[in-house]
Amino acid sequence: MTHPDAERWNARYAADGEVWLERQPRQLLLEYIHLLPQQGIALDAAAGVGNNGAYLARHGLNVIALDISMIGLRLARQRVLAESLPLSTAVYDLANLWLPADFFDLIVNFHFLERATFAEFHQALKSDGLLIFETFLRSNDDTPTPDFYLEPGELLNAYEDFEIIHWKERTIPGTSKVTAQLVARKPNTPV
């Protein structure tokens, strides 16, 4: 039996994969590229077709891209093979995420919310590791699927022990959608 989210995303990528591949990396990532390590291991969570992951790989990082969509990741693999980029993919349900401790130099998560990842991302980042996270915020009580939307301040509270570099809740220009953005560094903890 296939996961309903996998079926939905596989259908979207099968129908419009080329359109998704043409998208630029997320603006928040572009704005904070200067903070990224020059080398190391990055996680692209809910990677889709790997636009963000490919961008990170072009900047010298070894990237692991996880997503529930096999078709999205297949498109990502075709791109990275053509460019010989250091990006590995794995079909993975992030609702059941397990990551090794103190492993990643960078974790990016865009337009996806699974609250169980908060603790996993926390422990999986190395000391001084960077987290770049942006997803949708519940902006009214009529939200059809509230579990997929952050509450105001929730993302900031989840990483309150990190060094907060950027945090903002904002309306996406030209829409009624609201996102929460966070760029934060895990504190350097003595061994």
Q: Which amino acid is at 140?
A: N
Q: What is the reported pLDDT for 144?
A: 63
Does residue 189 carry a pLDDT above 80? no
pLDDT band, very low/low/confident/very high, at 17 (cuts 50, 70, 90): confident
Q: Which domain range does residue 127 map to?
A: 4-185
For residues 47 and 76, give the distance between their C-alpha atoms in angstroms, rounded to a whole number. Answer: 9
The domain that holds 14 is classified in CATH as 3.40.50.150
Q: Does residue 134 lie within any of the structural domains? A: yes
Range with the poorest average pLDDT among 76-80, 91-95, 143-147: 143-147
Q: Does residue 190 lie within any of the structural domains? A: no
Read off the pLDDT of each residue in 144-153 and give the average, rounded to a whole number.
Answer: 79
Residue 108 · residue 48 · CB < 8 Å: no
Q: What is the reported pLDDT for 3?
A: 81
For residues 170 and 51, give the distance between their C-alpha atoms in angstroms, rounded to a whole number. Answer: 23
pLDDT band, very low/low/confident/very high, at 161 (cuts 50, 70, 90): very high
**Count of structural domains, the chain:** 1
Q: Does residue 191 lie within any of the structural domains? A: no
pLDDT digits over 94-104, tens only? 989 999 999 99
pTM exceeds 0.85 for this model = yes
For residues 171 and 87, give the distance between their C-alpha atoms in angstroms, rounded to a whole number. Answer: 32
pLDDT band, very low/low/confident/very high, at 1 (cuts 50, 70, 90): very low
Q: Does residue 54 lie within any of the structural domains? A: yes
Sign of CA dihedral 19, 3, 73, 40: positive
Q: Does residue 78 lie within any of the structural domains? A: yes
